Chain A
Amino acid sequence: MADESKHDEQAAAQTEQAKEALLIGLTAEQRAALLQGDRVDALSEAEIRARLAGNDSGDTLEHEDLVAGMAHELTAQSQVIDLLSEQREPEGLNIAKVLDSATIDLRALMSMRISDRTVDCIGPLADEARRSRIRDEISLPTSKAIEMSVKSVRVRLGRVVITASSIFLGIAFFASVRTTALCLRAAGEATEAGEGARLTWLIIMALLVSVVGICNAMLMAVTERFREIGTMKCLGALDHFIVKLFLIESGVLGLLAGVTGSLSGVVVMYLVNSLRYTFHLTDVIAGFGGILVQGILLGSILSVLAAILPASQAAKMPAAAALRSTV
């Protein structure tokens, strides 16, 4: 049963391809004349054939050859697909074996579609539906982008540590100031009036400095990778894929720097203050949790913000210019 439906599917796909092949050889004018307002997908292969046969004007149109060529290609293709499915044995596919036994080779490999998405030309046949389909046919799933970014961070660890250090320091400063204030309050020590406002300003300044720092580091990191960006564009990446990759990468960095920075700020300042003042850990532990969460959020958000400018500038570059760069 299952075999039969598979067969039907295959036959339908072949009819589709035959239709396409019939149309491929035509110039825009010939296509227009042939179709006369009809949509291709509404016509059967037989209809197209019939119209082609009746269309004497196309003297450059050797559709007999075309059909013959396509028929050959179709058998070649189904042969390979059959062979490939037979070959799905434990030892896996062996293209050499497949090609040998099929007596046809790369031609079929290249026209074989593993995905059943039809990949036809944008062509003069492009209509609104086709255009919107094109939008769906180019994508970078977020899960894949995260995987790529995390890998990139892991591989470039040395470089990444430097990039992340400015945000690390900023968050560590933020966490230590907040921790000290918390410990003092818990110990019942009075703070001067206006002290709180002054510290808030200091924190803001420190964070601004680290944003500028990470922005600068990102700018360098992006510049170093112009060629990589150009390559990705050649492989079909849209500008916003590039931005997405860099923002996620920066977010991962910020997360790491936020976790380590706020942890070290809290731990160090807790130890320092517990030597000077007397207070109970139970009184401050909840506050520490809040500081950690704030630090991590701040770290990730600020570093994503800092990457927006460098990443979008680099992504806008024409592919040729990005590829030329020799940095």
Chain B
Amino acid sequence: MADSNGAKEHLNEEYIVRTKDLTKHFQMGDEVVQALKGVSVDVFRGEYISLMGPSGSGKSTLFNMIGGLDKPTEGTVFIDEVDMAQLDAYELAWLRCRKIGYIFQTFNLIPVMTALENVTLPMVFAGMTSDEQMERGRLLMDTVGLGHRLNNKPGELSGGQQQRVAIARSLANSPSIILADEPTGNLDLKTGKEIIELLRRLNQESGVTVISATHDLKMVDVSDRIIWIRDGLIDRVQTRSELGDQITEMEH
């Protein structure tokens, strides 16, 4: 596995995500929390990136900035070399709908909708006809191995199955980036492994860029680069080849 994951040939050395000197402050009463203190990261198209770091280090905050879910206090996020701050509400929605797929620790499926309806919701917003929605929805549910649970509500599915529905949903409009915030955080070891395996396959076979915040060391195995975050700053960035021995060290 190490070989196939190793030095990945980028189709072209093109940045799909860039952040420049990102800072984010939260006002908590009188106190100001500095969640990010100047983070610059460059992500190539097709990379698998893990954001790692202790709890409270700012991973989710960075995730929100990159995903256009929150605005930075200072600094810029570029997606496909477009400054996100320049986008109006429609363009931002368009970006979230078609360009980025989000996966969360808590799955965040809509509880009153069936699995298939959850998967097709982004396609509704994208204006697909309902025939197309059904066809693609089924295809995606098959891809994540849940073709037989189309009409179950999230409450009737296991955590791992819910996360797979969420992954299918994130792929609804063929995004170029998948953003995942601790996708395995609420899953047991084995199910977590399956989810990581699925993300890895998507990344390798469809070339989608994956950026995942995680505590999960299993993730290290499949990542092209690991960005370590500490205290709102980038601690260090490691590529797979630099990691080699360290993983085994960490695991023991």
Interface residues of chain A, those whose CB is within 8 Å of chain B, are: 24-25, 27-28, 60-62, 65-66, 69, 92-96, 105-107, 109-115, 117, 119, 121-124, 126, 131, 134-141, 144, 151-152, 155-156, 227-228, 230-239, 241, 318-321, 323
**Option from A92, A141, A236 in Cβ contact (under 8 Å) with B96:** A236
Contact indicator B87/A137 (Cβ below 8 Å) = no
Determine whether B48 belongs to the interface, using a CB cutoff of 8 Å to chain A: no
**Residues in chain B near residue A61, CB distance under 8 A:** 12
Closest CB-CB distance, A144 to chain B, in whole Å?
6
**Residues in chain B near residue A138, CB distance under 8 A:** 90, 93-94, 97, 125-127
Contact indicator B127/A137 (Cβ below 8 Å) = yes
**Residues in chain A near residue B91, CB distance under 8 A:** 122, 126, 131, 134
Chain B interface size, under 10 / 10 to 19 / 20 to 34 / 35 or more: 35 or more
**Residues in chain B near residue A27, CB distance under 8 A:** 14, 81
Determine whether B158 belongs to the interface, using a CB cutoff of 8 Å to chain A: no
Determine whether B132 belongs to the interface, using a CB cutoff of 8 Å to chain A: yes
Cβ-closest chain A residue relative to B14: A25
Cβ-closest chain A residue relative to B198: A106
Distance of A61 Cα from B126 Cα, bound (Å): 33
Contact indicator A231/B108 (Cβ below 8 Å) = yes
Determine whether B143 belongs to the interface, using a CB cutoff of 8 Å to chain A: yes
Contact indicator A107/B205 (Cβ below 8 Å) = yes
Cβ-closest chain B residue relative to A113: B174
**Option from A93, A235, A236 in Cβ contact (under 8 Å) with B135:** A93
Determine whether B110 belongs to the interface, using a CB cutoff of 8 Å to chain A: yes
Contact indicator A122/B95 (Cβ below 8 Å) = yes
Segment of B50-58, B63-71, B230-238 in the binding face = B63-71
**Residues in chain A near residue B172, CB distance under 8 A:** 235
Contact indicator A124/B122 (Cβ below 8 Å) = no
Distance of A226 Cα from B89 Cα, bound (Å): 19
Determine whether B112 belongs to the interface, using a CB cutoff of 8 Å to chain A: yes
Closest CB-CB distance, B45 to chain A, in whole Å?
8
**Residues in chain B near residue A238, CB distance under 8 A:** 89-90, 93
Determine whether B202 belongs to the interface, using a CB cutoff of 8 Å to chain A: yes
What 6 pairs across the A-B complex have the smallest Cβ distances?
A236-B97, A320-B70, A110-B206, A106-B205, A106-B206, A25-B12
- If A119-B174, A320-B70 touch, whether A228 touches B93 (CB-CB below 8 Å) is no
Contact indicator B122/A236 (Cβ below 8 Å) = yes
- If A115-B128, A319-B70 touch, whether A122 touches B82 (CB-CB below 8 Å) is yes
Contact indicator A124/B82 (Cβ below 8 Å) = yes
Closest CB-CB distance, A61 to chain B, in whole Å?
8
